[in-house]
């Protein structure tokens, strides 16, 4: 067991739950943050409800959690809001919502945890990207716009904070996660999918990389996925 604390922002989906389980199994004290708590919440990592659509409210909640826990060792920004529609059917609010959840929650998380990491001279901030972080696709313009911005933020933070001992990395999820809503939505049940537990193990490996060989971006896809 360790006394390290892992904060998972966006802990409600299949990857979020796998991340909580991965870090808990490795001995971390895990705090999961999600938009709402399930009614049948089972025993496991501590879960906190937070309005991840509101960057200011998210910052306040995460800042309080960081102070309460004595500092965050690993923070994972995993919240996202998927909008799929032709551009002509999208409103400005669709772009704003995607930006607030994907980019805004990560901005709030970074502002809440980075000062403590810098003070201690160590820590890891890991950010979940997507295929849309690298290229826009028809009907995914709102999602891609937010993910492009998130990748830019992550790259900037990696360059700004690595000399202070803080490892910032961007994980491109280039595929559909097994058991996710997207698997059903895009009828991917018979095609290759990313196993959430396998992806989560990569996040933990990133968090525990030695500083002489840090990875700042990595892409994950299942065997057989075109790229």
pLDDT tens, position by position, for the chain (227 residues)?
Answer: 468 999 999 999 999 999 999 999 999 999 999 999 977 666 689 999 999 999 999 999 999 999 999 999 999 999 999 999 999 999 999 999 999 999 999 999 999 999 999 999 999 999 999 999 999 999 999 999 999 999 999 999 999 999 999 999 999 999 999 999 888 777 556 678 999 999 999 999 999 999 999 999 999 999 988 88
CATH, range 5-220: 3.40.50.720
What does the pLDDT read at residue 51? 96
Q: What is the spatial distance between Cα 187 and Cα 99, in angstroms, rounded to a whole number?
A: 26
Q: What is the spatial distance between Cα 219 and Cα 153, in angstroms, rounded to a whole number?
A: 17
User: Which residue is listed with tokens 């910052």?
Assistant: 59
What does the pLDDT read at residue 43? 63
Q: Which of 212, 128, 210 is nearest to 175 (CA)?
A: 128
Q: What is the spatial distance between Cα 207 and Cα 217, in angstroms, rounded to a whole number?
A: 12
Taking the domains of the chain in order of start, what are their residue ranges? 5-220
What does the pLDDT read at residue 183? 84
Concatenated DSSP letters of 139-174 = T-HHHHHHHHHHHHHHHHHHHHHGGGTEEEEEEEE-
**Beta strands 74-77 and 46-49: pairing type?**
unpaired
Distance of CA 191 to the CA centre of its chain: 24
What does the pLDDT read at residue 181? 84
Q: Which of 125, 151, 86, 130 is nearest to 209 (CA)?
A: 125
- Supply 211's token pair: 């500083």
What does the pLDDT read at residue 42? 64
């Amino acid at each position: 067991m360790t006394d390290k604390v892992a904060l998972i922002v966006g802990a409600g989906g299949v990857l979020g739950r796998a991340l909580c389980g991965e870090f808990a199994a490795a001995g971390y004290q895990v705090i999961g943050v999600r938009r709402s708590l399930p009614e049948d919440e089972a025993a496991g990592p501590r879960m906190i409800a937070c309005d991840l659509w509101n960057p200011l409210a998210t910052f306040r909640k995460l800042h309080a959690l960081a102070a309460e826990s004595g500092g965050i060792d690993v923070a994972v920004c995993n919240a996202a809001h998927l909008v799929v529609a032709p551009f002509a059917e999208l409103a400005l609010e669709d772009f704003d919502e995607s930006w607030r959840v994907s980019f805004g929650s990560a901005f709030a998380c970074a502002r809440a945890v980075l000062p403590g990491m810098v003070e201690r001279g160590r820590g890891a901030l890991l950010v979940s990207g997507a295929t849309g972080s690298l290229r826009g696709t028809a009907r995914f313009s709102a999602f891609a716009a937010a993910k492009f911005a998130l990748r830019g933020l992550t790259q900037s933070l990696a360059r700004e904070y690595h000399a202070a001992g803080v490892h910032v990395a961007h994980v491109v999820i280039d595929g559909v996660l097994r058991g996710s809503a997207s698997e059903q939505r895009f009828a991917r049940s018979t095609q290759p999918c990313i196993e959430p537990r396998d992806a989560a193990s990569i996040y933990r490996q990133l968090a525990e990389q030695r500083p002489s060989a840090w990875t700042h971006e990595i892409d994950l896809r299942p065997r057989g996925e075109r790229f």
